[in-house]
Chains A and B, each alone.
Chain A
Amino acid sequence: MNVMSNNGLFDSREELSDGYYVRLSGDIDMSRSPEIRNELLGIVGEDCDRLVVDMTDVPYIDSSAVATFVEVLQYQRDRERKMVLCGLSRRVLSILQIVRLDRVFTIAADVESGKSV
């Protein structure tokens, strides 16, 4: 597994056999979502059959973060590729539930299952 450099937005970004794994941290609100959107779309714009987004260290997201994830998910699905969210706290999961997107995203319980689901 190749660990790539941290660009400041991701705690880590690793190349998988079929895509990429990124670990986010901190609150993701309207002040950060545009940059994260651009970075994630840049990653899936490469040869990325699977994008695994690790949210273990993300205590809070708002609707702008949800919109970012929906946009990336749609990009992947349009190309019959996968996007997996993992490590969601109860609080973050509840926000996806409120907007009824918890059944739209593929959500893995942990990072390892996120890389194989």
Chain B
Amino acid sequence: MNMDSKFEIEMCVLSSPQYLCVVRQAVLAAADRLGFDEEVCGQAVLGVDEAMCNVIRHGYDGDEDKPIWVKIGMGSEDGASGLVVIVEDMGRQVDPSGIAGRDLDDVRPGGLGVHIINEVMDEVEYQKRSEGGMRLTMKKFVRSAVYGNEITEGK
């Protein structure tokens, strides 16, 4: 779905984990405004948080003084409304087709972020930015909730 998006919040934070809570609060506020219930708000927050962590960990190799741009807005199309969040960076570029979650049967620490994002968000798109870095666009629609592997509505 190509949503007609309007961004209400735009921010730039440093790639330090201490600012993750700032972005989480912003996403939570936007999701709450959209009328998402607590469960879906939590999923949207988690998805964006994991995206930020991936930028810090993989895009910037843990450097804490690099920029991450976050745009948060509401979109709608065909009567469906939802949350749109774009995370952009100037970190290492990777082929979007190669970004995939790992085998969950292999129980080991790490490597879960991509899987979580794919599970909790309704649409996920990675792009290389022409000016460098990556762009991740995530969409979460109203009336969508994922409880573990059980999908209740919307997705």
Contacts and interface: CB of A to CB of B under 8 A. Distances in A.
Interface in A60-103: 60, 62-64, 66-68, 70-71, 74, 90-91, 94-95, 97-102
A31 B113 CA distance: 15
B110 A29 contact: no
B97 interface: no
Nearest to B43: A94
Given A97-B147, A100-B149, A63 B21 contact: no
A95 B109 contact: no
B107 A70 contact: yes
A58 to B, nearest CB: 13
Contact of B116 (A27, A99, A102, A104): A99
Contact of B17 (A30, A71, A101, A104): A30
A99 B20 contact: no
Given A62-B53, A66-B112, A99 B46 contact: no
A104 B106 CA distance: 11
Interface-centre pick from A64, A66, A100, A104 (highest chain B CB count, 10 A): A64
Contacts of A60: 24, 42, 45-46
Nearest to B16: A31
Q: Chain A contact residues (Cβ within 8 angstroms of B): what range?
A: 20 to 34
A2 to B, nearest CB: 30
A101 B21 CA distance: 24
Given A63-B113, A94-B148, A99 B39 contact: no
Interface-centre pick from B18, B46, B119 (highest chain A CB count, 10 A): B46
Interface in A27-77: 27, 29-31, 60, 62-64, 66-68, 70-71, 74
A30 B24 CA distance: 13
Contact of A99 (B18, B42, B45, B115): B115
B120 interface: yes
A68 B109 contact: yes
| Across the A-B interface, the 4 shortest Cβ-Cβ residue pairs | A97-B148, A31-B17, A67-B109, A30-B17
Given A63-B53, A63-B113, A98-B120, 5 more contacts: A29-B17, A68-B109, A74-B109, A90-B39, A100-B148
Interface of A: 27, 29-31, 60, 62-64, 66-68, 70-71, 74, 90-91, 94-95, 97-102, 104
16 contacts: A29-B21, A30-B17, A30-B56, A31-B17, A60-B24, A62-B20, A62-B53, A63-B113, A90-B39, A94-B148, A95-B116, A97-B147, A97-B149, A98-B116, A100-B149, A102-B148
